[in-house]
Chain A
Amino acid sequence: MAAHNLKHALFCAIVTLIVAYPILGFNLVSSGTDIILEGATTQTVISVLLAAVVVFLFQLFRDNIMALLGKAPALNPLANRQPMEQSKRLKLESTILTLIIIGALFWPFFVSRGSVDLATLVLIYIMLALGLNVVVGLAGLLDLGYVAFYAVGAYTFALLSQYYGVSFWFALPIGALLAALFGLVLGFPVLRLRGDYLAIVTLGFGEIIRILLNNMTSLTGGPNGIGGIPDPTLFGMEFGRRVKEEGNTSFHETFGIAYSSEHKIIFLYLIALVLAVFTALVIRRLMRMPVGRAWEALREDEIAARSLGLSRTSVKLSAFTIGAFFAGFAGTVFASKQGFISPESFVFLESAIVLAIVVLGGMGSQLGVILAAIAVTILPELAREFSEYRMLIFGAAMVLMMVWRPQGLMPMRRIHIELEKQE
C-alpha cells in the first residue's frame, strides 16, 4: 500500500465529509421570521462519519478489493450461459406477453378497487414509456420534454369536453393526433440539432407548454386546472348511477344488475389495457418495418446511414411524431381517469420518470420497458414508508445504471447472424 494511496484515500474521505456534513448535519428551521440552525440527531452525524470511514477504507484497499472481486465467482449464474436461439427467444417472448395480457384481462375482477386504479396508472405509464422508447431507445433522440405531448393529449380532451361536450371516444383520436401534430411542428426545425442540444430544446419546450397552461387562465383555468371531465362510455352506456347526458342509458340498468362504482374503474382499466396492447403491437410492427430499421440505423451511425440514402429529417421526424402520438393517447386516458387535470401533473419530473423507465428497462426493448414501468410505479406503493426516498433512489439508479449497465436490465436483442469462427 503506497503512500500515494493513503493520500488519495484521506482526500476522498475528507471530500465525503465536506459534501455530506454541512447539508445533513445542520438543519435550517424557520421560527417566526427568523431562521435558526439545529444540529442533526447523533444518528445522522454518526452515519456521516461512518460513510467517510467506509470511503477511506475502500479507497485505501481499492486495489486489493478490486482484485478480490475479480477473482470471486460470478454472482450472476446466467452470465456465462449461451444466448438462446433467436426463434426460440422470440417465441418465448410472445408467449410471455400473451400470458400477461390474458392474465391482465381477468385480474381486475378479483382484486380491490385500489389496486385496479393503480393498475390503470401503470398502464398509462406503459403507454408513455413505449412511446418514449421509440424516440429515445430506437431513434436515439433524447426527448426531455415528452410530458408536453402527454399534456397536449390530456388538455385536448379536457377542453373539448368542457367547451363542446365531446365524449372520450371522439377526443381520443383527436388528442393523439393533435399531440402528433405538436411533435411534427416542434420536430421539424429542432431535429437538425445534435443529441444534447435536442435534449435541452425539448426540455425548454416542455417548460413553455407548462407555463402557458399555467398562465392562460381564461382558457385552461390556470393552476386551478379543469375538472368535471366525463368518464368514457360503452356504446352510449354511462357508468354513473344516473345518466348525465340525454340519449344515453346507464350500464347497470341495461344489463339489469345492481349499480356498483367498481364497474367504472374496471371499465377504465380495460380501456387502458386495450390501448396499451394496441400501442405495443403497433410499435412492435413498426420496429420490423423499414422505418423501424431506419431509426436504428440512424441511431447507430448517422453518417453511414445518410450515405446509404436515408433522409435524416424524415426518419427522425417519424419517430418523434409517433412518440408524441402515443403520449397524446396516454394523456387522454389520464384525463379521463383523473376527471381533473392541472399543469402540476405535467412537470419535468414526469418526463424524467418516463425516461428513467425506458433507461432502466433497456432502451429499445419492449418487454424490458413494460416490466420497468410496472416496477417503477408499483414499488413506491408497496414501500410506502420509503416513499420520500423514491426520487432519491430514482436518481441514484439512473446514474448507477449508466455506469454499470447502460444497455438496461433487459437489453434489446437485434435479429442477427453470428459468423462462425474460421480456423
Chain B
Amino acid sequence: MQDLLYFLQQLINGLTIGSTYALIAIGYTMVYGIIGMINFAHGEIYMIGAYTALIAITGLAALGIAWLPLILIVALVCAMIVSSSMGWAVERVAYRPVRGRHRLIPLISAIGMSIFLQNYVHLAQGSRNIGFPALIEGGFRFGSEDSFQTSISYMQITIFATTLICMSLLSLFISRSRIGRACRAVSQDLGMASLLGIDTNRIISATFVIGAALAAVAGLLLGMYYGSIDPLFGFIAGLKAFTAAVLGGIGSIPGAMLGGLILGVAESMTSGYLSGEYKDVVSFGLLILILLFKPTGLLGKPEVEKI
C-alpha cells in the first residue's frame, strides 16, 4: 500500500511537469513541422514569459490588488502578449532572412538568438534567481495519517486544467479556423500552399506567435510551481521540451503532448526511485536512444529524402 501511494505520488508529479513540457513542446513541433528548423530560442521565450508574469504579479501586488483570479488572468495575458511579440520579432529578425539556406545556418542563428536573449534578461534583471510567489496553496491528501501520504496540490490541478484547456483550444484552432487550416496546408507543402494563395510568411509568423503564447502559459505555471526563476532556466526546460517533441514525433501536435507526459513521468520516477541529480541524464539519454532507434518518434511520420 505504502509503495503504491509513493508510486502514485511520483506519477502525479511526473504528469504535472510533463504537461508543462508538452505546452512548450508545441512551439518546437509546430515550427519544425512548417519550416523544418529547430527554434533554439524557444526556451528563452518561455523564460521571458515567466519573467513578464512575475513582473505583472508584483506590479499588481504593489497596486494593492489581491483578488487571485484577476491577478492570474492579468499575469497570463501580459506574459502571452510579451512572449508572442518576442516570438514574432525573433522570427522576423533572425530566421526569416536565413530561411531556405543550408540547414546549419538557421540553427546557428537560433543558437545566437538564444544566447542573446539569455543575456538580455540577465543584464536587465540580474543573474540571481528570484522567488516566485506561490499564489495557489493547499491541496488534497490521501492515505493514513501515520504513514506516507499522496498529495495533489491545487497548483497541480491548476496546471492540469490549464494545459487541458490550452490543448483543446489549440486542437480546435488547428482543425477549424482559417489560419489553422492554412497552417496544416503550409506544413504539408509550403510551395504548393503559396501557389494556392496562402500568405506563407504570415502563417509562419502565426506559428511562432502561437508557440510563444503557449510557452508563456507554461512559464507562468512552472514559475509558480517551482517557486523561483532565473535567466538560465529556459535553456534546460527548452531542451527537455525539445526531447518531448522528438519523443512524440516532431511535427505532430498530439505527439508533443504524449512525449511531454512520458518524459515528465520518466523524470519524476528517476528522481523518486534513483536520485534527483540523474533526472537530466535520463531525459537526455532517452532523447539519444529515441533518435537512434526510432528517429521519427512515437507518432511522427517518416521523412522521405527527395533527390
Residues of A within 8 A of B (CB): 15-16, 18-19, 22-24, 26-28, 30, 33, 35-37, 136, 140, 142, 144, 189-190, 193-197, 199-201, 203-205, 207-208, 211-212, 214-215, 303, 348-349, 352, 355-356, 359, 388-389, 391-392, 394-399, 401-403, 406
Q: Are A19 and B86 in contact (CB under 8 A)?
A: yes
A195 and B104 contact, CB distance less than 8 A:
yes
Q: Give the segment of B66-74, B137-145, B163-171, B280-288 that binds chain A.
A: B280-288
Please report the C-alpha to C-alpha distance between residue A408 and residue B239 in the assembled complex, in whole angstroms. 28
Chain B neighbourhood of A388, CB < 8 A = 123
Interchain CA distance A169-B120 in the complex, whole Å: 43
The interface on chain B, measured as residues whose beta carbon lies within 8 A of the other chain's beta carbons, has a size of 69
Q: How far is the CB of B251 from chain A (nearest CB, A)?
A: 13
Cβ–Cβ < 8 Å partners of A194 in chain B: 103
B277 adjacent to chain A (CB < 8 Å): yes
- Cβ contact of A403, chosen from B81, B98, B116, B120, cutoff 8 A: B98
What A residues does B86 contact at CB under 8 A?
A: 19
State whether B112 touches A196 (Cβ < 8 A).
no
Chain A residues lying within 8 Å of B94, measured Cβ to Cβ, are: 399, 402-403
Residues of the A chain whose Cβ atoms lie less than 8 Å from the Cβ of B272: none
B278 at interface by CB-CB < 8 Å? yes
Given contacts A352-B111, A399-B94, contact A205 B130 (CB under 8 A): no
B97-134 CB contacts (< 8 Å) to partner A: 97-98, 101-109, 111-126, 128, 130-131, 133
Nearest residue, chain A, Cβ from B242? A200
Does B62 lie at the interface of the complex (its beta carbon under 8 Å from any beta carbon of A)?
yes
| Contact (Cβ within 8 A) B284 A394 | no
Q: Is the CB of A15 within 8 A of B55?
A: no
**Cα separation A356 to B106 with both chains bound (whole Å):** 14
Complex CA distance for A199 and B32, rounded to whole angstroms: 15
Task: Check: B58 CB closer than 8 A to any chain A CB.
Answer: yes
B62 lies within 8 A of A36 (CB)? yes
B51 at the interface (CB under 8 A from A): yes
Given contacts A19-B82, A203-B239, A207-B239, contact A30 B130 (CB under 8 A): yes
Taking A23-B82, A200-B38 as given, write out 10 further A-B residue pairs in contact, using a Cβ cutoff of 8 Å, ordered by the A residue number.
A23-B124, A28-B51, A37-B59, A195-B107, A359-B108, A391-B119, A392-B123, A399-B93, A402-B94, A406-B101
Query: Which residue of B is nearest A215, CB measured?
Result: B277
B281 surroundings in chain A (CB, below 8 A): 208, 211-212
Mind listing 19 A-B residue pairs with CB under 8 Å? Answer: A22-B82, A24-B124, A26-B55, A28-B130, A35-B130, A140-B104, A190-B288, A190-B292, A200-B38, A201-B287, A215-B278, A348-B235, A352-B115, A395-B112, A395-B114, A395-B117, A399-B94, A402-B112, A406-B105
Distance (Å) between the CB of A115 and the closest chain B CB? 27
**In contact, A193 and B124 (Cβ under 8 angstroms):** no
> For the complex, is B37 an interface residue (Cβ under 8 Å from A)?
yes
Residues of A within 8 A of B292 (CB): 189-190, 193
Query: In the complex, what residues of A have CB within 8 A of residue B125's CB?
Result: 23, 27-28
Chain B residues whose CB sits within 8 angstroms of the CB of A190 once the complex forms: 288, 291-292
Q: From residue B30, how far is it (CB to closest CB) to chain A in Å? A: 16
A403 proximity list for chain B (CB < 8 A) = 94, 97-98, 109
* Minimum-distance CB pairs A-B, first 8: A398-B112, A395-B116, A395-B115, A204-B284, A402-B109, A392-B119, A399-B112, A18-B85
Q: How far is the CA of A355 from the CA of B108 in the complex (A)?
A: 9
A33 touches B131 (CB 8 A): yes
Which residue on A lies nearest to B128, using beta carbons?
A: A30
Residues in B whose Cβ lies below 8 Å from that of A352: 111, 115
Q: Which residues of A contact B38 (CB under 8 A)?
A: 196, 199-200
A23 adjacent to B120 (CB under 8 Å): yes
Residue of B48, B98, B104, B281 ringed by the most chain A CB atoms within 10 A? B104
When each residue 245-260 of chain B gets 1 if its CB lies under 8 Å from chain A and 0 otherwise, what string results?
0100000000000000
Are A28 and B119 touching (Cβ within 8 A)? no
- A144, A200, A392: which contacts B246 (Cβ < 8 A)? A200
User: For the complex, is B13 an interface residue (Cβ under 8 Å from A)?
Assistant: no
Residues on A with beta carbons closer than 8 Å to the beta carbon of B119: 389, 391-392, 395
CB closest chain-B residue, reference A35: B58
Whether A23 contacts B51 by the Cβ 8 Å rule is yes
Tell me if B180 counts as interface (CB < 8 A to partner A): no
Does the CB pair A196–B131 fall under 8 Å? no
Q: Shortest beta-carbon distance, B274 to chain A, in Å? A: 11
Bound form: Cα–Cα A195–B104 in Å: 7
Contact of B113 among A201, A359, A399, A401 (CB under 8 A): A399
The residues of A that contact B113 with a CB separation of less than 8 Å are: 395, 399
Query: Could you tell me which residues of chain B, from 46 to 78, have a CB within 8 Å of some CB in chain A?
Result: 48, 51-52, 54-55, 58-59, 62, 78
Residues of B contacting A214 in the complex (Cβ-Cβ under 8 angstroms): 277
Q: How far is the CA of A355 from the CA of B105 in the complex (A)?
A: 12
B89 within 8 A of A: yes
Cβ B89 vs Cβ A23 within 8 A: no
Q: Counting CB contacts under 8 A, is B1 at the interface? A: no
- CA of A176 to CA of B48 in the docked complex: distance in angstroms? 40
Residues on the A chain within 8 Å of B122, using CB:
391
For A205, the chain B residues whose CB sits under 8 A away are: 284, 288
Tell me, in angstroms, the Cα distance from A196 to B246 when the chains sit together. 12
Instruction: Please report the C-alpha to C-alpha distance between residue A30 and residue B277 in the assembled complex, in whole angstroms.
Output: 28
Chain A neighbourhood of B78, CB < 8 A:
22
